[in-house]
Structure 1
Amino acid sequence: MTRLKGWRGRLGLAGLALAAGLAASAGTPGKAEAGGTLIWAMPAEMGLYDPHVACGWLTKNVTHMIFDGLVELDLTDPNATYAKLRPALAEKWEISDDGTVYTFHLRKDVKFHDGTPFNAEVAKWNYDRFSNDKAPHYNKQANAFLGYYARWIASSEVVDEFTFKVTLKEANYEWLQSGQSSCGQPEMVSPAAREKYGDEALPLHPIGTGPFVFVEREQNVKAVIERNPNYWGTPPKLDRLIVRPMQDPSTRLSALRAGEVNMVTEPPWDEIEGLVGEGFTLLTQPNVPSLWYAQFNLKNEALKDPRVRKAINMAINRDELAKQIFKGTARGEYGMLAAGNFAYDAKFQPFGYDPEQAKKLLAEAGFKEGTEIEFDLFDYGWGEQWEKWVQRDLKKVGINVKLNKMEWISYLGKWLQGMQNPTAMNSMGWGWSVPLWTTLVTRCDHQAPNGWNMGAYCNDKVDALYNEARKTRDEAKATELYRQANQIVMGEDAAFLPVVSYYNPILLAPNVTGFVNAQENWYDFTLVSVEEKK
């Protein structure tokens, strides 16, 4: 029986080992008896439990345990460079030679939590919901959230009971993996549930085919999911997962120390070393696609000259910022290809920390010393520490920065509309397991409010490289094309201010085993066990 109290829909998103002496890894060793309850103190409330309109890493952590897609990311290897696709509801699939037709061969033994059988008709029903505006159950909001994925679809069809085909408008070899996103997820929802509850109430009654079944949710208090005894795949070890939103970092740590929770994300960085000393397990993941950056508003008069934008990049001491603020849970980043995808280049650095050269570039550009620019940022439970560092470094070269801090939901609403003057910069933490993400935040035809390019950046040469890359089946060739584009975006145009790649530090109680901090911002909870206290 499911219960839900006080819930109303909200959106939630988030954005090296530790320094010597702190042992950190991506997975916990050893095995424990299956079972137990994992209680996670997360830094914010989640969004809607309808994968087609869900947005945010925190939300994805629950929805991808309730719902399955045709494919999924393999999140079981903490040492992989990036997460790769593996079969889920599709046992296998083929891609046509021209890269436009995807044929999925579906599992025959799958049922939704409400008993509805899964088959090709259901797969098409789901794809029609977010991609076919002629379908009676088409959901415009789902199409908006899944636009990055649905925009490529020309048609979908049922070949037979367990064969489903999708035809794209043009070749895109990253299309399938691009669906492994936290904002709009092409996972399978029960048509019977949607018929019963309608689109508005469906998130209150999430029914999928996944390894966990929804039990209850109380807004800003907790959500509970339990092991699905009829799961088609390997059953979870956990009996249940409870997530508890706790925005205040000290509250999360107090709950961990008191044994009220046994997992904490976004721990205060300056307290991590002490907590490890107390016996808690720290996991980090240097290959997670979690790029923290600021985008420049190219419509803002102060930032139109690329020399000013290059100067801002040169003025920030990223490496020291990562060391002093993040305490070894991040590294300085200089490009807009996030870690955790095949095209990432950890050595990319078109310009480093050089405040004197920054001053010269500002003078050449005629930038008036002391000019103030506005920087929008969001409160996610850690304060504006890195943004204040940026503010201090820019003041040293003659740029005054006004920080505009907002609660996350308000910030996201403004962010999705794109930057408007007087805002000159805004912040975000994001990234995907495919370089296609970079195109979504930089392409000319992805400018807000119809895309995620929030600063009106546009360079036709960059878009041409992207077009060639996505049509290229050869990963090495695609990598070279994406890196050429990155060189233009940052080396020539300096359209962004990448700051750090974040390692997603997680603290676990000693009785939690099997947890893998993989190359994404969500986790495979089927692997985890918790030894209950006697």
Structure 2
Amino acid sequence: MSSGHDDSTCSSVDERADTSGRGRAGLNRRRFLQTTAALTAAAGGSGAGIASPGKAAAAAAQESIEEVIVALGADTRVMDPDLDQGLNDMYRLIFNTPLSVDDEGLPVADLAESWEFADDTTLRLMLRQDAVWQDGEPLTADDFVFTWERMNDPERESTNVQGFSPWLADVIAIDDYTVEMRTSVPYAPALVELDGFWIAPRHFIEEVGDEAFGLKPLGSGPYQVVEWQKDQFLSLEAASTWWGEPQPFPRVRFVIIPDTFTRAAALLAGDAHVVSEPPVAMVPQIEGSGTAYVTQAPDWRIQFIQFPHQDSRRENTPEIDNKLVRQALNYALDREAIATAVGQGNFDVVPGPWFGSSWAYPANAAELGYRYDPERARELLAEAGYADGFTFYFGTSNGFSLMDNELMQACVPYFQDIGLQVEFTSLEWAAFDPARDENQFSAYYLGLSGSTDPHGSPNQYMTSQGRTRGFYDTDPELEEVIWQGATIVDFEERQTYYQEVIFPMMIDVAPWIFLWTPSSIMAVDNRIEYQQGPQPYVEVMKMTAAG
């Protein structure tokens, strides 16, 4: 595991970035961005250090794929979606939810084949009766009740319950195949958010216990777990009990390869069939290999720099609580320049906390949002009492999301330019996530699998009722406004509220450094047909064998 910068670019980039914050005299952001782009392009153009397809790959091209190998940058912490919601790539093959979300962002049937609102606070789900667990036991309304009870068990410290407890009051089994989900208030995003309500098997967990379930779970999805070695691999096989569309492959194997270039090399060497988030600079090499191609699409993720609550960040960093400081940091970055020079056109800058096409943005959102204005940033820091700057403990994952390390390295000189002393840390996800738990940062880069409803991301990371480690309790008025927006069920009234009340307040409070939405990029073996959609993960069930 890496404990610092990406070694492939570190020697040149660090010299310019001067992450200690002591080298402002020699700082040149333009040269930094040009050099970063050139280094990345050189890595892709020459293919230095990247394995090319060998004899094994050529021979394999004549064979059908019995086990598709998917290379990801990080693993889940535990194979229990109630405790870690990190990897839909895996979970969607093992588990099910009441409803799913299609590529248009609309709710569609999953375990519930139909649904209706009996009143403003009662959602009735009619379950499909052919769904079974992977041991053949029927999946019933009682499993829905158990899932809710399990989420609310204080001894388990569920992380998923935080997304539901603020609005979901109770889950009731009317009969074996009818469930009522009763909300504490009228809640507009309910149908979309049930896409994350992973149903757990009562009979199995009561027999083996939570710990055993988290190591080798029993699901109701198309594939069942054969073996999981954390941070190494997950082996799945097609479940004979599956009740949905046929599985495209007999077996699926996820392998964890944190480094993006190494992931791409595995594809070119024939050691993987699908690679998530390959280096952008290697796309021409992959496309020209004759054995693989790249598929990509703008997705629903929103990426930003998180200002954690004071209980979830580094000690003695009170400056983050000052709104003027947060505004200054938003003015400090030239997002367009970074997205163009480093992101190479794979990132769309957004003015706020939603993906670019969200209906929550007003028509003049770009004008209301932050522009690149370092002079204004310095003025705000001085007004806040930090004319001489402060030490900014800034972190990012390395290889978890598309170009995370490179993009955040490019931000460092901008922060230095307004007077901050930047302590920059880049870690592979297996080390970065615990570092967040240990409160090592003032702020850090984060990318969400964004909800198609604009309540999702702000609720998760800006309110006390959302996920842990977010920007919560820092501005109670913002939290109140966010939740008011979720209770408006009339669409036109709700849209007006988001555009005229919530968005302007977001800009003023500056709970994040607003950045961009990325494209999902996947590299795929020619023997597989696959088109990446807006869901920011690998969807094995949408693949077919080529030919």
Same fold (TM over 0.5): yes
Find out whether 1:47 has 2:77 as its counterpart: yes
Alignment of 1:85-96 (within 5 A): 85-96=107-118
The separation in 1 between residues aligned to 2:245 and 2:428, in whole angstroms, is 40
Q: Which residue of 2 aligns with 1:164?
A: 179
Read off the aligned partner of 1:262 and give its amino acid letter: H
The separation in 2 between residues aligned to 1:334 and 1:144, in whole angstroms, is 29
The separation in 1 between residues aligned to 2:221 and 2:148, in whole angstroms, is 18
Q: 1:428 aligns with which of 446, 465, 479?
A: 446
Q: 2:169 aligns with which of 149, 154, 158?
A: 154
Alignment of 1:338-487 (within 5 A): 338-339=355-356, 342-343=359-360, 348-349=365-366, 350-380=369-399, 384-416=405-437, 423-430=441-448, 431-441=450-460, 443-446=462-465, 451-454=468-471, 456-460=473-477, 462-487=478-503
Contact 1:378 1:407 in 2 (8 A): yes
**Per-residue deviation, residues 132-169 of structure 1 (Å, max 9, x unmatched):** xxxxxx47436443221134332222212211112122
The separation in 2 between residues aligned to 1:86 and 1:441, in whole angstroms, is 23
Alignment of 1:98-113 (within 5 A): 98=120, 100-113=121-134
Read off the aligned partner of 2:345 and give its amino acid letter: G
- Could you say if the C-alpha distance between residues 163 and 366 of structure 1 is closer, same or farther in structure 2, counting changes exceeding 3 Å? closer
Alignment of 1:173-192 (within 5 A): 173-181=188-196, 186-192=197-203
Q: Which residue of 1 aligns with 2:241?
A: 230
Q: Which residue of 2 aligns with 1:497?
A: 513
- Could you say if the C-alpha distance between residues 188 and 281 of structure 1 is closer, same or farther in structure 2, counting changes exceeding 3 Å? same
Question: Structure 1: which 5+ runs fail to align?
Answer: 1-32, 132-137
Question: Which structure has more helix as a fraction of its residues?
Answer: 2
The separation in 2 between residues aligned to 1:263 and 1:343, in whole angstroms, is 34
Read off the aligned partner of 2:174 and give its amino acid letter: V
Find out whether 1:293 has 2:305 as its counterpart: yes
Read off the aligned partner of 2:295 and give its amino acid letter: L
TM-score, with structure 1 as normaliser: 0.80
Question: Structure 2: which 5+ runs fail to align?
Answer: 1-62, 311-315
Q: Which residue of 2 aligns with 1:317?
A: 334
Contact 1:34 1:238 in 2 (8 A): no
User: In terms of mean alpha carbon deviation, does 222-231 or 301-310 score higher?
Assistant: 301-310
Cα displacement (A) at 1:392? 0.5
The separation in 1 between residues aligned to 2:243 and 2:482, in whole angstroms, is 38
Cα displacement (A) at 1:379? 3.2
Q: 1:308 aligns with which of 311, 325, 329?
A: 325
Read off the aligned partner of 1:40 and give its amino acid letter: V
Q: 1:257 aligns with which of 244, 268, 280?
A: 268
Contact 2:396 2:404 in 1 (8 A): no
- Could you say if the C-alpha distance between residues 207 and 324 of structure 1 is closer, same or farther in structure 2, counting changes exceeding 3 Å? same
CA RMSD of aligned residues (A): 2.9
- Could you say if the C-alpha distance between residues 287 and 484 of structure 1 is closer, same or farther in structure 2, counting changes exceeding 3 Å? farther
**Per-residue deviation, residues 313-334 of structure 1 (Å, max 9, x unmatched):** 1221111111122222212233
Q: Which residue of 2 aligns with 1:528?
A: 543
Q: Which residue of 2 aligns with 1:26?
A: none
Cα displacement (A) at 1:231? 1.9
Cα displacement (A) at 1:198? 0.7
Alignment of 1:502-513 (within 5 A): 502-513=518-529
Cα displacement (A) at 1:201? 0.5
Q: Which residue of 2 aligns with 1:270?
A: 281
The separation in 2 between residues aligned to 1:424 and 1:198, in whole angstroms, is 38
The separation in 1 between residues aligned to 2:66 and 2:330, in whole angstroms, is 48
The separation in 2 between residues aligned to 1:468 and 1:428, in whole angstroms, is 25
Cα displacement (A) at 1:451? 3.5
Q: In structure 1, the residue corresponding to 2:503 is in which secondary structure? A: helix
Read off the aligned partner of 1:319 and give its amino acid letter: E
Over the matched positions of the two proteins, sequence identity in percent amounts to 21
Q: Which residue of 1 aligns with 2:232?
A: 221
Cα displacement (A) at 1:86? 0.5
